[in-house]
Amino acid sequence: MTFSYTTSQQNGITVFKLEGEIIDKNQTMGLTEEITKLISSGKHNIVLELSGVRYMNSSGLNVLITILTRARNAGGDVSVCNLSKKVKELLVVMKLDTVFHILPSVEEAVERLKAE
């Protein structure tokens, strides 16, 4: 299974819908480059919609942490939403559920970021 993503805007917040497996940093280079450009342009709040992510390993977690770090360093934040059971369990086991704002829907993730 390969990795892909699409982007959309919702109430001024960029939503990245991720799909597939995140198992190699190289497969997400396009995503991280696009997010870096987005943050450089002044858009610091990002939603990562993960319903299509079937599997993620430590490299995938590293990608999420990198995105979060870049956004927060620029004064923004990241919300993740629609996590599969496997991905949510992984975040809990790694105690990353205390670092990321995990929400059940894109709409709630966007509203949380707009409230900041």
CA gap 24, 60 in Å, rounded:
7
pLDDT at 24: 86
Checking if the pLDDT of 1 tops 70, the result is no
pLDDT at 115: 86
Counting Cβ atoms within 10 Å, is residue 112 exposed (0-12), middle (13-18) or buried (19+)?
Answer: middle
pTM of the predicted model, to two decimals? 0.95
Distance in Å from the first CA to the final CA of the chain: 36
pLDDT at 29: 92
CA gap 19, 3 in Å, rounded:
6
pLDDT digits (tens, 9 = 90+) for 19-71: 999 998 889 999 999 999 999 999 999 999 999 999 999 999 999 999 999 99
Average pLDDT score over residue span 3-8:
96
- The radius of gyration of the chain from alpha carbons, rounded to an integer in Å, stands at 13
pLDDT at 81: 98
Q: Which residues pair with 49 in a beta bridge?
A: 17, 81
Structure tokens at 22: 């995140």
pLDDT at 116: 75
CB 101 within 8 A of CB 78: yes
Q: Which residue is listed with tokens 């819908």?
A: 17
Structure tokens at 23: 């198992």
∠ CA 24-26-27, nearest 5°, is 75
pLDDT digits (tens, 9 = 90+) for 67-103: 999 999 999 999 999 999 999 999 999 999 999 999 9
